[in-house]
Structure 1
Amino acid sequence: MTADSTTLENEFKSGDEAAASALIEQLGPDLVLVGPAVEGYCRDWHGDVTTGAVAVVRPRNTEEVAQAVRAIGALGLTVVPQGGNTGLVLGATPDRPGSQVVISLERMTAIRRIDSDDFSAVVEAGVILSEFKDRVEEAGLYFPLALGAQGSCRIGGNVSTNAGGINVLRYGMTRELVLGLEVVLPDGSIFDGLSTLRKDNRGIDLKQMFIGAEGTLGIVTAVSFKLMPPAEKVATALLGLGALSDAITLYRRARRDCCDLMSAFEFMPPMAFTLAQEAIPDLQLPMPGDYPAYVLLEISGSGLVDIDDLMHRFLEGVMEDGLVLDGVIAASRNQARNLWLFREGMNEGQAKRGAHLRTDVSVPLSRLPEFVEKAEAAIFAQLPDCLCVSYGHVGDGNVHLNVLPPSGLTQEEVAERIYAAKAVVNEVLDGFEGSISAEHGIGRLKKADFLARVPATQLQLLTAIKQAVDPAGIMNPGCQLNFSADS
């Protein structure tokens, strides 16, 4: 359960049958799902929320997306774009069953082009991220976006949420990887901006308007990406530290000594190992699990760089200085994968303990330990029976400070603790001038908190853009902004 999940009823509801029939008549039964088949598209990733929709439209190409948008608008209905439905802020979950139609991009799975000489690719929005990465690897290249849900999430959703992941430190968020977009606009017209140019200074870069917009300005149907040389050599280490504050010092040293070859720098609490082993019982801890803080460090490269030697020399120095107390370096890809399983299994272990608060915040890197300390102390002071689990990406200041209520509570008591914990975290965060959403987006879940904090001028600009691009308010209403055609 998420903190605001009670704002949506957890019950599937069918939409307007007459409108559904009209959509079938205009678009054909092959494109339109109605009735019970719709329910799977109206449930959020964690299963906390189930709603409903008039229908689900599953176009096979860009022109069919445009046709669907025009038909939906003509019927006075609205659109909720959806990719893999793996988002965590209800951005792709309909909340008005009687008037919303889900447009799923799951059938648009063509990889149109991979150009090894241009280091670029053009891919349709419905392609699953891991499948795209595999095809790129087969071509001898590398696409660095890496997420826990990469076996299910789709390219269009990655762009529309400006997805982050574990490689942001080196390669940036999705925004930095996009060269061009193809987008179906709210009136059904098509913006074709699928350029692969690296340098194009012809005025305002329109593609940036749709990246992170969560489908509120249009539907991303295809993307051109920049690709990288493959990281043929990877060194992964799990390190035990005396305090979370040491992680910042260690990160500073790693940035200096490893430079841009550092691809991941994750921090975890000792509780991470307990949670991971609850999810994956056979997972063996490769080192003592009682250090105050842990870092998962990865450096990678190709060509003439000796990555293993760099890792060993770096660790020798920081261990001699007492900055790292203990550590283990993966001797193979399989061992590296096992180290990453602790980071990934920690999330599964939290889920197994039941409904809890999942946060995704960011603070200035230098203040990350201070924020975690203050936020956890504030949670304990107000909710002493709850467990805090803080982890995240040190290199970009992204903290996932999750709060797990104790077992044995009623559903209402759990919801009360989640709501109270969210308020505490946000209050502490405001004192650090941080962001309530580092990488997950705003969606419907974080909209109220976003609107309560967004500066007036920024909100005015966002509303003006929405008004200009989608004056009828048909694209993903209820997501990010409170907007209607007459606002």
Structure 2
Amino acid sequence: MSDRGRDALAALGRLLDGPGLLHEPEDLAPYLNEPRGRFHGRALAVARPESTEQLAAIVRCCSEHELAMVPQGGRTGLVGGASPINGELIISLERMRRLRSIDPIDTSLVVEAGMPLARVRQIAAEHGLRYPVSLASEGTATIGGTLATNAGGNLTIRYGNTRAQVLGLEAVLPDGRVFSELSPLRKDNSGYDLKQLLIGSEGTLGIITAACLRLAPAPRQGVTAMLATHSLDQGLALLRQLRAELGETLSACEFMPRLALDFVLADQPRARDPFDRVHPWYLVVQVESALAGDWLKPALLNVLESALQGGRIDDAVLAESEQAALDFWALREGISRAQARGGVSLKHDISVPVPRIPDFMQAVLSELERAVPGIRPCVFGHLGDGNLHFNLSQPEGLSGEDFRAREADCNRIVFDQVHAVGGSIAAEHGVGQLRREELARGQARKLELMARVKSALDPAGLMNPGKLMPVRP
């Protein structure tokens, strides 16, 4: 440890109690891990503030000692955005998880950044409301993490990403000043919307400490269906019909290929194929309404009968109980874990314009097959918003090591096509370390403007260095 590091650690020790500052190797270990095990850095210590005021003091201390900081939430990210690189101070928001207020009349609540997403959704439900961001990792993912990466999820088609739910924000800036605008105002034309700059910045401009979040009415009726179709073109035709005839009641439209379903059926002994025969593609559709009654199910049935007659789908099964709906969603949400059964998987979190999904898929998959014969695409995700989990499983007969050696070639094929159609290389998990160089390659002008903003707010480059954009020389 350098003299500067020792001095910084001593100063931090005067600000934090015992559990508030961890520096023993065994205590640091859990904070150095990330889900895929791809990033292994080192940290000076872990600071665990209990309040915004305490966090501000920590940041001022780090600024004085020129100590870089890495904010952490639930550590569910997959791109190394919350992993230290070279001896930074990890700042975990896990002790800042309080509900500050909730207003059922104004349909908003104020929560601290360390609160798990599932808990926020539970609190809203207890008041007859809904926080409409839902992720497979919501039991662990924190509000701060979802704000830092502008997370999406299954309900984006109806409610938008995380930034669409934010009315106000509180954050500690790189010099230790507190930016606090937690008002639930829906209308405010008084200049720049600074909170939106912090959302999606991956902790490079400041550390989000609390947010005022918009809530929606809780559904009073809902129907989930699993559909089979022979092409994504037909799936998009169905999506168009669902939107035209059922409007904003459409809250989710997910898709997955047969390979994904096979992986899940093999991984979950109690899982069952809802259909009598094999189909190339499957959709999970959910419609919901806050209005009372039982009119939604017949309305969905009418659409599906029309789609069957028009050849837009080949089969359909409606969930006749809450458990049946959960079973359908388990098939969709179990894909990521189940795909490990197929060996090494190269994963890409991308988005493309929805109308271009079929052509994009055809172009990329044909190129990949030429580059790696027998490659097994397992592409699934959110059909309604264009977010594709473009995962590639190793060919049978090819070792995982040899397949991993082709990762750069596969990435180049996927990302070149993403750029060609005006898509994004980072749709949900952020850029982090994993996609930093690709962002610089594909969006150099945007990155230049981002770097100017970064320099204005964080001239010393102490906030989450090495994430989102290259490290300064």
Q: TM range, normalised to the smaller chain?
A: over 0.9
Corresponding residue of 1:119: 107
| Cα deviations by residue, 1:242-292 (Å, 9 ceiling, x for unpaired) | 212111111111110111110001111011211112221210111135112
Q: What secondary structure does 1:30 align onto?
A: helix
Corresponding residue of 1:268: 256
Give me the CA root mean square deviation: 1.7
Alignment of 1:101-116 (within 5 A): 101-116=89-104
Q: What secondary structure does 1:396 align onto?
A: coil
| Distance (whole Å) between structure 1 residues aligned to residue 193 and residue 19 of structure 2 | 36
Q: In structure 2, what residue type is equivalent to 1:170?
A: R
Alignment of 1:45-84 (within 5 A): 45-84=35-74
Q: In structure 1, what residue type is equivalent to 2:269?
A: P
| Distance (whole Å) between structure 2 residues aligned to residue 165 and residue 381 of structure 1 | 32
1:480 matched to 2:461? The reply is: no
1:224 matched to 2:212? The reply is: yes
Determine if contact 1:123/1:223 at 8 Å carries over to the other structure.
Answer: yes
| Cα deviations by residue, 1:74-124 (Å, 9 ceiling, x for unpaired) | 22210000000101111111111x3x0110000111011111000000000
Q: In structure 1, what residue type is equivalent to 2:449?
A: L
Corresponding residue of 1:288: 276
Corresponding residue of 1:7: none
Determine if contact 1:270/1:289 at 8 Å carries over to the other structure.
Answer: no
Q: What secondary structure does 1:482 align onto?
A: coil
| Distance (whole Å) between structure 1 residues aligned to residue 36 and residue 125 of structure 2 | 30
| Cα deviations by residue, 1:197-219 (Å, 9 ceiling, x for unpaired) | 01111111110010000000000
Corresponding residue of 1:239: 227
Equivalent of residue 448 in structure 1, options 412, 433, 437: 437
Q: How many residues align?
A: 468
Equivalent of residue 326 in structure 1, options 310, 315, 318: 315
Alignment of 1:337-486 (within 5 A): 337-406=326-395, 412-456=401-445, 458-484=446-472
Q: What secondary structure does 2:339 align onto?
A: helix
* CA pair 409-35 structure 1, distance change in 2 beyond 3 A: farther
| Distance (whole Å) between structure 2 residues aligned to residue 424 and residue 49 of structure 1 | 24
| Distance (whole Å) between structure 2 residues aligned to residue 94 and residue 411 of structure 1 | 28
Determine if contact 2:15/2:57 at 8 Å carries over to the other structure.
Answer: no
Give how far 1:464 is off.
Answer: 1.4
Equivalent of residue 249 in structure 1, options 216, 237, 247: 237
| Cα deviations by residue, 1:393-436 (Å, 9 ceiling, x for unpaired) | 11111111101124786664343122321112112222222211
Equivalent of residue 168 in structure 1, options 143, 156, 163: 156
Determine if contact 1:405/1:417 at 8 Å carries over to the other structure.
Answer: no
Determine if contact 2:43/2:89 at 8 Å carries over to the other structure.
Answer: yes
Corresponding residue of 1:6: none
Moved more, 334-343 or 266-275: 266-275
Q: What secondary structure does 2:442 align onto?
A: coil
| Distance (whole Å) between structure 2 residues aligned to residue 437 and residue 65 of structure 1 | 29
Give how far 1:48 is off.
Answer: 3.0
Corresponding residue of 1:8: none
Q: What secondary structure does 2:66 align onto?
A: coil
Q: What secondary structure does 2:18 align onto?
A: coil
Q: Which runs of 5+ in 2 are unaligned?
A: none
TM-score, normalised to structure 1's length?
0.93
Q: What secondary structure does 1:133 align onto?
A: helix
| Cα deviations by residue, 1:312-368 (Å, 9 ceiling, x for unpaired) | 111111112121111100001110000011101111111344442111111111110
* CA pair 209-289 structure 1, distance change in 2 beyond 3 A: farther
| Distance (whole Å) between structure 2 residues aligned to residue 355 and residue 136 of structure 1 | 39
Give how far 1:387 is off.
Answer: 1.4
Give how far 1:21 is off.
Answer: 4.4
Q: In structure 1, what residue type is equivalent to 2:238?
A: L
| Distance (whole Å) between structure 2 residues aligned to residue 455 and residue 259 of structure 1 | 38
1:135 matched to 2:123? The reply is: yes
Q: In structure 1, what residue type is equivalent to 2:373?
A: P
1:41 matched to 2:34? The reply is: no
Give how far 1:22 is off.
Answer: 4.4
Alignment of 1:203-218 (within 5 A): 203-218=191-206
| Distance (whole Å) between structure 1 residues aligned to residue 372 and residue 120 of structure 2 | 44
Give how far 1:385 is off.
Answer: 3.7
Q: What secondary structure does 1:452 align onto?
A: helix
| Distance (whole Å) between structure 1 residues aligned to residue 272 and residue 291 of structure 2 | 33
| Distance (whole Å) between structure 2 residues aligned to residue 30 and residue 321 of structure 1 | 63
Moved more, 407-416 or 305-314: 407-416
| Distance (whole Å) between structure 1 residues aligned to residue 410 and residue 428 of structure 2 | 20
* CA pair 79-373 structure 1, distance change in 2 beyond 3 A: same
| Distance (whole Å) between structure 2 residues aligned to residue 407 and residue 152 of structure 1 | 34
Determine if contact 2:378/2:390 at 8 Å carries over to the other structure.
Answer: yes
Q: In structure 2, what residue type is equivalent to 1:227?
A: L
Give how far 1:299 is off.
Answer: 0.5
Q: What secondary structure does 2:225 align onto?
A: strand
| Distance (whole Å) between structure 2 residues aligned to residue 397 and residue 192 of structure 1 | 34
Corresponding residue of 1:145: 133
Determine if contact 1:356/1:418 at 8 Å carries over to the other structure.
Answer: no
| Cα deviations by residue, 1:439-460 (Å, 9 ceiling, x for unpaired) | 221111100000011142x233
Q: What secondary structure does 1:170 align onto?
A: helix
